[in-house]
C-alpha cells in the first residue's frame, strides 16, 4: 500500500524518481482501509532530507500510512525555508489533543550540550510525556534516544574521544522480539555521533531491555513498555550518501573528521559508498509498523488516549 502524504511535500517528487509509490490525501481517501496515523517530530537541521529518508522507509509496507510533521514552537530552523515549515509543519500545541498510532522523534545537532541547556528541552520533555498517553509506539532516534532515556530513566550520556562515524556491525541480544523478525544474525547500521550511552547503565534499569549492540559502536537499541518505546542510537534511516555529505561538510568547515568506517569502497571516498544497511532498515520500520503499531491498535485511535490515561494512573499507584 502507498504512503499517504500531504500534497506538494518535496519528498513525493524525490521518491517518485526512485519508483516508490506515494499518494496525496485525495487519492488515498478513496481507499476503504484504516490508515495508520504517524506523527514525526523532526529535529534534524535538514528537514527535507530527513522527511525523504523516513518516507522512503515508511512506504515499504502493505499498510496505509498518513504522516504528519510536528515542530518545536520555540525553535526556528536555519537550514529549511520558512515557507516549507509553514506549509507542512504544525506546532505541538496544535496537535496535542489528537492521538496517533505511532511517532518518530529524530536526532538533533545538540548532542554535546547538557540536556537542560538545550533551548527547547522543556518542550521536548513535555512531548515525550505526551507521547506516553497519546501514541501507541514511539521510535526515539539518535539524540532523541539519548534524551528519552535520560528523561524517563536517568540514563546519562558520555562524550566520546572521537566521533563515532561510519557503518558498524551489530548483533541481536533478543532474537525472538518481533522488531527483529527476518533479521540476519548480524546487520549493519550507520552511526554519526559524538556521545554514547552505555550498556551497563541500560542493564541496571529493570524497565529497559537491551535488544541490540555492536562491539565497536556500543548500544544500538533498547526497548521499554513492551515495545511502546524504542530507543535507537544509530541512523538506519540514512540514505546512501548521507554520511558522505556529512563528511564533506565537516571537511569544508575544517573540523576534525575521519573517513567514515566501513563506508567507502576500500575506504576511498572517490570510489563511493557501499550500502550495507538498506535491507535491515526496511525490515526495522516494517516490523515496527506491523507488530507494534498496526497489530497493537485494532481499535480506534481515540482508545489510545484512554489506554494511555490508564497506564499513567497505574504508574502513579506504584
Determine the pLDDT at residue 76: 72
Determine the pLDDT at residue 79: 73
In a domain, 164, yes or no: no
In a domain, 266, yes or no: no
CATH classification at residue 291: 3.40.50.880
Determine the pLDDT at residue 5: 57
Q: From the candidates 51, 66, 68, 237, give the one annotated as an active-site residue.
A: 237
Determine the pLDDT at residue 83: 87
Count: domains in the chain? 1
Determine the pLDDT at residue 30: 46
Quickly state the pLDDT bin for 8 (edges 50, 70, 90).
low
Is residue 21 predicted with pLDDT exceeding 80? no
Q: From the candidates 37, 170, 191, 235, give the one annotated as an active-site residue.
A: 235
> Average pLDDT for residues 229-249, to the nearest whole number?
96
- In terms of Cα–Cα distance, which of 28, 31, 38, 43 is closest to 58? 38
Quickly state the pLDDT bin for 4 (edges 50, 70, 90).
low
- Is 229 among the residues known to form the active site? no
In a domain, 256, yes or no: no
> Average pLDDT for residues 44-49, to the nearest whole number?
90
- Is 99 among the residues known to form the active site? no
In a domain, 248, yes or no: no
Q: From the candidates 142, 196, 229, 246, give the one annotated as an active-site residue.
A: 142
pTM of the entire predicted model:
0.86
Is residue 262 predicted with pLDDT exceeding 50? yes
In a domain, 245, yes or no: no
Query: Mind listing the pLDDT tens digit for each residue in 140-196?
Result: 999 999 999 999 999 999 999 999 999 999 999 999 999 999 999 999 999 999 999
- Is 142 among the residues known to form the active site? yes
Quickly state the pLDDT bin for 18 (edges 50, 70, 90).
low
**φ/ψ (deg, to 5) at 82:** -65, -30
User: How many percent of the chain have pLDDT more than 70?
Assistant: 82
Q: Which domain holds residue 13?
A: 3-157+173-181+188-239+277-317
In a domain, 135, yes or no: yes
In a domain, 45, yes or no: yes
In a domain, 230, yes or no: yes
Three-class secondary structure assignment of the chain: CCEEECCCCHHHHHHHCCCCCEEEHHHHCCCCCCCEEEEEECCCCCHHHHHHHHHHHHCCCCCCEEEEEEECCCCCCCCCCHHHHHHHEEEHHHHCCCCEEEEEECCCCCCCCCHHHCCCHHHHHHHHHHHHHHEEEEEEECHHHHHHHHHHHCCCCEEEEEEEEEEEEEEECCCCCHHHCCCCCEEEEEEEEEEECCHHHHHCCCCEEEEEEECCCEEEEEEEHHHCEEEECCCCCCCCCHHHHHHHHHHHCCCCCCCCECCEHHHCHHHCECCCCHHHHHHHHHHHHHHHHHCCCCCCHHHHHHHHHHHHHHHHHC
Determine the pLDDT at residue 302: 56
Amino acid at each position: 500500500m502507498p504512503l499517504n502524504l500531504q500534497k506538494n511535500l518535496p519528498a513525493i517528487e524525490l521518491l517518485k524518481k526512485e519508483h516508490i509509490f506515494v499518494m496525496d490525501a485525495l487519492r488515498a481517501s478513496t481507499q476503504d482501509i484504516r490508515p495508520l496515523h504517524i506523527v514525526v517530530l523532526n529535529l534534524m537541521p535538514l528537514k527535507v532530507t530527513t522527511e525523504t529518508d523516513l518516507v522512503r522507509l515508511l512506504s515499504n509496507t502493505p499498510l496505509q500510512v498518513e504522516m504528519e510533521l510536528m515542530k518545536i514552537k520555540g525553535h526556528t530552523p536555519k537550514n529549511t525555508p520558512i515557507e516549507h515549515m509553514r506549509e507542512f509543519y504544525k506546532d505541538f500545541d496544535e496537535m496535542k489533543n489528537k492521538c496517533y498510532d505511532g511517532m518518530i522523534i529524530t536526532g538533533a545537532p545538540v548532542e554535546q550540550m547538557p540536556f537542560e541547556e538545550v533551548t527547547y528541552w522543556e518542550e521536548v520533555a513535555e512531548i515525550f510525556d505526551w507521547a506516553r498517553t497519546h501514541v501507541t509506539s514511539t521510535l526515539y532516534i539518535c539524540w532523541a534516544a539519548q534524551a528519552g532515556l535520560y528523561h524517563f530513566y536517568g540514563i546519562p550520556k558520555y562524550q566520546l574521544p572521537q566521533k563515532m562515524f561510519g557503518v558498524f556491525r551489530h548483533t541481536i541480544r533478543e532474537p525472538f522480539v518481533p522488531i527483529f523478525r527476518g533479521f540476519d544474525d548480524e546487520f549493519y547500521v550507520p552511526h554519526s555521533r559524538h556521545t554514547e550511552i552505555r550498556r551497563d547503565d541500560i542493564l541496571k534499569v529493570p524497565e529497559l531491555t537491551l535488544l541490540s549492540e555492536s562491539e565497536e559502536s556500543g548500544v544500538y537499541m533498547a526497548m521499554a513498555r513492551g515495545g511502546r518505546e524504542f530507543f535507537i542510537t544509530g541512523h538506519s534511516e540514512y540514505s546512501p550518501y548521507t554520511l558522505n555529505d556529512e563528511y564533506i561538510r565537516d571537511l569544508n568547515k575544517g573540523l576534525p573528521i575521519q573517513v567514515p568506517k566501513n563506508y567507502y569502497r576500500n575506504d576511498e571516498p572517490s570510489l563511493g559508498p557501499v550500502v550495507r544497511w538498506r535491507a535491515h532498515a526496511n525490515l526495522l520500520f516494517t516490523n515496527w509498523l506491523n507488530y507494534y503499531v498496526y497489530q497493537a491498535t485494532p481499535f480506534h485511535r481515540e482508545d489510545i488516549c484512554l489506554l494511555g490515561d490508564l497506564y499513567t494512573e497505574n504508574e502513579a499507584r506504584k
